[in-house]
Amino acid sequence: MHAEDKKSPVSFLAHVARLPQRGLPVVIEADETQRLALAAEHGIVSVEKFRADLSVEPWKRHGVKVTGRVEADITQECVVTLEPLKTHIDEAVEGLFLPDESKLGRLGFEGSGEILLAAEGPDSPETFHGDSIDVGALAEQFFGLAIDPYPRKPGATLDAGGEEGAEESDFQRKLRSLLKKS
């Protein structure tokens, strides 16, 4: 997380300088203020619950691996009816981090350093500065990705305007009359 990045409402800095081999467990349970900020940040009606259960572990030589789950209960507006729509989010969280002063952090992946990653695994490692990583911000990223951008109540459909008996617009009438003349 760089200094210019906006701070997450559920920001939680995990100190990674001396991680236990078995990992550091981190639980983030958002309070009401944080839930209100998350709802505003993601453009949804409300966040009733937000909980991240994470494990921060050593990875490779100087890297850090963060894994776990983020669970949330949210309310959105149906894009068709604008009625409240409750949704449960249960999303896996996974991220890899390298210190920016490490050889790979300095050279990047285009340099002489190589890291083999599984195709179905996490994205390429991000770099971090100092001795801590904002694991709360990482959990919020996965929360944000899990939110349906076009939530719809079951059975709600958009009216395409092509139904029989629908009122004909002035444009449609004029177009029809022009087509008949040709």
What is the average per-residue pLDDT within 93-100? 92
CB atoms within 10 A of CB 137: 19
Please classify residue 51 by burial: count the beta carbons closer than 10 Å to its beta carbon, then call 0-12 exposed, 13-18 middle and 19+ buried: middle
Q: Are 115 and 143 in contact (CB under 8 A)?
A: no
Give the 3-state secondary structure of the chain. CCCCCCCCCCCCEEECCCCCCCCEEEEEECCHHHHHHHHHHHCCCEEEEEEEEEEEEEECCCEEEEEEEEEEEEEEECCCCCCEEEEEEEEEEEEEEEECCCHHHHHCCCCCCCCCCCCCCCCCCEEECCCEEEHHHHHHHHHHHHCCCCCCCCCCCCCCCCCCCCCCCHHHHHHHHHHHHC
Q: Are 117 and 94 in contact (CB under 8 A)?
A: no
Residue (of 137, 67, 60) closest to 99 by Cα position: 60
pLDDT of residue 114 exceeding 80: no
pLDDT of residue 179 exceeding 70: yes
pLDDT in tens, 141-168: 999 999 999 888 887 776 655 444 455 6
Rounded-to-integer distance, Cα 50 and Cα 28, Å: 8
When mean pLDDT is compared across 43-57, 76-90, 110-124, the lowest value belongs to 110-124
At position 170, the amino acid (one-letter code) is: D
pLDDT in tens, 1-24: 444 457 999 999 999 988 998 999
Please classify residue 93 by burial: count the beta carbons closer than 10 Å to its beta carbon, then call 0-12 exposed, 13-18 middle and 19+ buried: buried
pLDDT in tens, 35-82: 999 999 999 999 999 999 999 999 988 899 999 999 999 999 988 888
